[in-house]
Amino acid sequence: MAENFVDFRTIKENVSMQAALDHYRIELRKVNQNSLRGKCPLPTHSSEKSQESFGVHTGKNIWACQSSSCAAARQGKKGGNVLDFVATMENCSVRDAAVKLREWFGTANQNARDETSQHVIGEKKKLVAEKKEGSDDRKINAALSFALKDVDAAHPYLRQRGIKEETARHFGVGFFSGRGSMSGRVVIPIHNDRGELIAYAGRSIDASEPKYKLPAGFHKSIELFHLHRALATGREHVIIVEGFFDCMKVHQAGFPNVVALMGSTLSEEQHKLLTPFLAATLFLDGDEAGREATKTIAARMAHSHFVKIISLPDGKQPDQLSSEEIKIIFGSR
């Protein structure tokens, strides 16, 4: 039994994308301290025009290919982690890829990511342990041990908000009629930067309060909604919005490199989470609170990112715009 068990998490944390690239003798151009770019090596890539569509973020240990032909061959998936990379290269299952990586590299320290990454992993484990012991000195959102079932992605409320069923399914959003605190609400899964499910937000659809319900003890100030998918795009630019539906509408318009603050402030922890990106566009609400937040966040990020500001008319929010309007704003139409 022990030989059949494969610890995916340990392999992902201890085998770097750089090690996998070296195994296949793939050389990429270094863009900056954390980014590599070059010709896509995947067997699913068929485009002759895309010369530098493949990118790797060594800090986050993720990769992505921006070629539409390559993504189409993988059911729309643009990237992933080291397991996904080897599975695609070898045309095998993720489990078989994990077994291969274990055979190639083991999980010893010499095959780990760099010392800094190991330190971060250790700190996260320490924080989880502290949380379990009841320590309130440091904030952490532990991964959930369950996922809600029978979520209706085709609910009329979502159509009223301009969310297509395809988009709702991508985000895992839908009406939940089961038991529990989220019953009778549209539930929105929230993941951390590593893609772990850490909470559900519940949106009221009948004017009942609160409008949004979050689990007791959830710290939204240390997370960014949709960050794990924005990182997986491999892009160096991120679009920042305020709310869940803003994020869904911008993504639906063709901009997957979008994250939501889940509010109108940027905390120190959230700022650090944006480190992998070189540039950011602030696309906040067109009200007084949104404009004040834009000024504050822009001033804060100016020392770490190239910042662009998009101002909306009075009372307008990104989630009220159509895909065509959003595309025009971002200059793709």
pLDDT digits (tens, 9 = 90+) for 263-317: 999 999 999 999 999 999 999 999 999 999 999 999 999 989 999 999 999 989 9
- The stretches of the chain forming alpha helices (DSSP H) are 8-14, 17-23, 68-73, 82-90, 94-105, 115-132, 156-160, 165-171, 227-232, 244-252, 268-273, 288-301, 323-329
Q: Is residue 144's pLDDT more than 60?
A: yes
Please report, rounded to a whole number, the percentage of residues in the chain having pLDDT higher than 70: 88
pLDDT of residue 190: 97
pLDDT of residue 128: 53
Please report, rounded to a whole number, the percentage of residues in the chain having pLDDT higher than 90: 62
Q: Is residue 114's pLDDT more than 50?
A: no
Mean of the pLDDT values across residues 45-70? 86
pLDDT band of 107, cuts 50, 70, 90: low
Residue 280's SS3 state is: strand
Q: Whole-angstrom Cα distance, residue 168 to residue 155?
A: 10
Q: Whole-angstrom Cα distance, residue 291 to residue 226?
A: 23
- The residue with greater pLDDT, 139 or 201, is 201
Q: Which of 28-37, 243-252, 319-328 has the lowest mean pLDDT?
A: 28-37
User: How is domain 8-111 classified at the CATH fold level?
Assistant: DNA Primase; Chain A (3.90.580)
- The residue with greater pLDDT, 155 or 34, is 155
Compute and round to an integer the Cα radius of gyration of the chain.
Answer: 20
Domain coordinates in residue numbering, the chain: 8-111, 156-222, 227-329
Q: For the domain bounded by 227-329, which CATH number is listed? A: 3.40.1360.10
pLDDT of residue 6: 63
pLDDT of residue 316: 94
* Both tokens assigned to 89: 């290269």
Q: Whole-angstrom Cα distance, residue 97 to residue 93?
A: 6
Q: Which residues pair with residue 54 across a beta bridge?
A: 38, 65
DSSP one-letter code for 295: H
Cis bond upstream, residue 156 (ω within 30): no
Q: Whole-angstrom Cα distance, residue 49 to residue 79?
A: 19
**Nearest to 293, CA basis, from 306, 312, 275:** 312
* Both tokens assigned to 286: 């067109």
Q: Whole-angstrom Cα distance, residue 234 to residue 35?
A: 9
pTM: 0.62
CA dihedral sign of residues 126, 131, 136, 141: positive
* Both tokens assigned to 326: 């959003």
pLDDT of residue 110: 34
> Within 13 Å, how many C-alpha atoms sit on residue 168's CB side?
21
User: What superfamily does domain 156-222 belong to in CATH?
Assistant: DNA primase, catalytic core, N-terminal domain (3.90.980.10)
Strands 79-80 and 62-65: antiparallel
DSSP one-letter code for 208: P
Q: Whole-angstrom Cα distance, residue 285 to residue 310?
A: 10
pLDDT of residue 115: 40
pLDDT of residue 3: 44
What is the per-residue pLDDT across 3-30, written as a single tens digit (0 to 9) for each?
Answer: 455 677 778 888 899 999 999 999 999 9
Residues across the chain: 333
